[in-house]
Amino acid sequence: MWSFSNWRRRRTLARYPVAPEVWQRIRQRLPILDGLDDTQDQQLREACIFFLQAKHLTPLSGVELDDEQRLFLAAQAQLPLLNLGDLNWYQGFHEIVLYPDDFISPQRHRDASGIEHEWDGEHSGEAWQQGPVILAWPGVMASGDWDGYNLVIHELAHKLDMLNGDANGLPPLHGNMRVTEWARVMQSAYDGLNRQLDHDPDAETSIDPYAAEDPAEFFAVTSEYFFSAPDLLHSAYPEVYEQLKAFYRQDTLARLQALQQDNPAYKGHHHSHH
């Protein structure tokens, strides 16, 4: 059936093609996309094209941004939305500002005094609906592997969380999910992590202790793990994994395990954070 929006989609795809060899390089740079089937691969590539048309990427001085780098960012931004349908999940912003500073490193990311936290604060108020996403470029470049760190997914999870109000760890759930169940599972895992850190601030927690900061950070950090270390998340908090699986409508653990089964040498998480 002909429709204007379909026609416009086709026209956009034709106007901004992604060369197969460029997409191939993106796939190689992003192990967290390994195991997607051909349909998902094409869907993701097209979603990247629309994303880059809809969002303005603003590199500050010191950030070199070419088409391939833009695609590298877009592919990570679109992975969480892969099975979420045509809803405009990223309607809460239209700009991504890229900082050259390398002070948000995977290590500093856990630090409660890091800039990312300040940014969350700025946007938890009235500006949340129109505020840009701010990403430190070195953090973007460090993302994409199966290592429990993904700055792009972390920040965009905050945006999903903010779709129904302030960031509080509760994004708009699907009709087949229950808010009470989500709240029970998330709260109990969050409380457990906090108890562990109260007991010993230097405890070797199974996920990044930054998740204990507040419920919004718990959702953002566990979303990061869901897409970049699903095995760690599942073994630490299986019920949290199941809730995120229902929310994102993806089974990242099954995808990772299939890769490992096909190739026993396939890397899992690096566990470099602890």
Applying CB under 5 A, what is the total number of residues that bind Zn ion? Answer: 2
Mark 198-217 with x for binding to Zn ion (rule: CB under 5 A) and - for no binding.
-------------------x
Q: Using the rule CB under 5 A, is 220 a contact of Zn ion?
A: yes
253 binds Zn ion (CB under 5 A): no
User: Which among 150, 145, 129, 139 is positioned nearest to 80, based on CA atoms?
Assistant: 150
Alpha helices in 124-249, H assignment, sequence order: 137-141, 151-161, 179-199, 215-228, 230-236, 238-248
| Closest distance of CB 245 from Zn ion, Å | 21
Per-state percent for the chain, helix, strand, coil, to nearest 5: 60, 5, 35
C-beta of 123: minimal distance to Zn ion in Å? 10
Q: Which residue's beta carbon is nearest to the bound Zn ion?
A: 220
**CB of 94: closest distance to Zn ion in angstroms?**
20
Nearest approach in angstroms of CB 213 to Zn ion is 8
Which residue's CB is nearer to Zn ion, number 52 or number 73? 73
160 versus 220: smaller Cβ distance to Zn ion: 220
Closest CA to 37 of 85, 90, 71, 83: 83
By CB under 5 A, tell whether 136 contacts Zn ion: no
All residues at 6 or more sequence positions from 141 whose CB lies less than 8 Å from its CB, including other chains: none
Question: H or E element: which one contains 197?
Answer: helix 179-199
Which residues are at the interface with Zn ion (CB under 5 A)? 217, 220
